[in-house]
Amino acid sequence: MEVIFLGPPGSGKGTQAQKLHEEEGIPQISTGDMLRRAVRMGTPLGREAGGYMERGALVPDGVMVKLIRERIGEPDCAGGFILDGFPRNRAQAEALEEVLGEGERDSLLALHLEVPREEILRRLAGRLTCQVCGAVYPPRDPAICEVCGGPLYQREDDRRETLERRLEVYQKNTAPLIEYYRKRGRLVSVPAVGTPEEVHRRVREALGAVKAR
């Protein structure tokens, strides 16, 4: 199983990728989480990526492709993986195909999470993230992380101005990938409103339908 979650900021890519990872036992590869961790730790990758992320811009393709190439090459990805946040433009999508090679490229599936803009703004206005382990909570949730007890914070890039920029970047760079994967017969669209569990059921149904083809 090689799955890509595709969708705008706040569409629930991370939430759904995590659920699928827990069920299937295959790795969830979240480029956003990897980059935030690198920024927190002050690594060379974090120092390079931080400025782009603060502005809501994409980190350069060369950096991202190298990161993904290395991660997908690790032994735990041999049985498949779930990508959350990559690819984000055509160059990244083409690089991914090259990394995968012919056989695996044909089993790649892009799950497009469809969420109206108002719902995205509502979700991200109050999203809280754990500073230590990266767990994500809706606004109503606690002051400390239920997973590791770490402090929760609001992501800088969820502030309204940066969020607007991220939505623009998504429309311009990432949304064209919907057509890209549709043309290759690798796209399934999933309505992503309702509870996370309801969306997960739809994701499972979509995967089941594709397997049965």
Contact between 7 and ligand AP5 by CB under 6 A: the answer reads: yes
Q: State how far the Cα of 162 lies from the Cα of 57, in Å rounded to an integer.
A: 9
Q: Nearest-CB residue to ligand AP5?
A: 32
Does 155 qualify as catalytic in the annotation? yes
Question: By CB under 6 A, how many residues form the interface with ligand AP5?
Answer: 33
3-state SS record for 46-105: HHHHHHHHHHCCCCCHHHHHHHHHHHHCCHHHCCCEEEECCCCCHHHHHHHHHHHHHHHH
**For residues 198 and 213, what is the distance between their CA atoms, to the nearest angstrom?**
23
65 is an interface residue for ligand AP5 by CB under 6 A: no
Answer yes or no whether residue 32 interacts with ligand AP5 by CB under 6 A.
yes
Identify residues 168-197 at the interface with ligand AP5 (CB under 6 A).
194-196
Q: Are 49 and 59 in contact (CB under 8 A)?
A: yes
Q: Tokens at residue 71, please?
A: 């991660």
Dihedral of the CA atoms 93, 96, 97, 103 (nearest 10)? -140
Q: Annotated catalytic, 36?
A: no
- Catalytic: which of 19, 71, 127, 202? 127
User: Which of 82, 207 has the CB closer to ligand AP5?
Assistant: 82
Binding region for ligand AP5 (CB under 6 A) out of 73-81, 82-90, 98-106, 177-185:
82-90
Residue 88 is among the residues annotated as catalytic for this protein: yes
Measure Cα distances from 175 to 114, 139, 163, 165 in Å: 11, 27, 16, 14
Q: Which stretch binds ligand AP5 (CB under 6 A): 72-80, 101-109, 131-139, 182-190?
A: 131-139
Concerning whether 127 is annotated as a catalytic residue, the answer is yes
Catalytic residues: 13, 88, 127, 155, 166
Binding region for ligand AP5 (CB under 6 A): 7, 9-15, 31-32, 35, 52-53, 56-59, 64, 85-86, 88, 92, 123, 127, 136-138, 157, 166, 194-196, 199
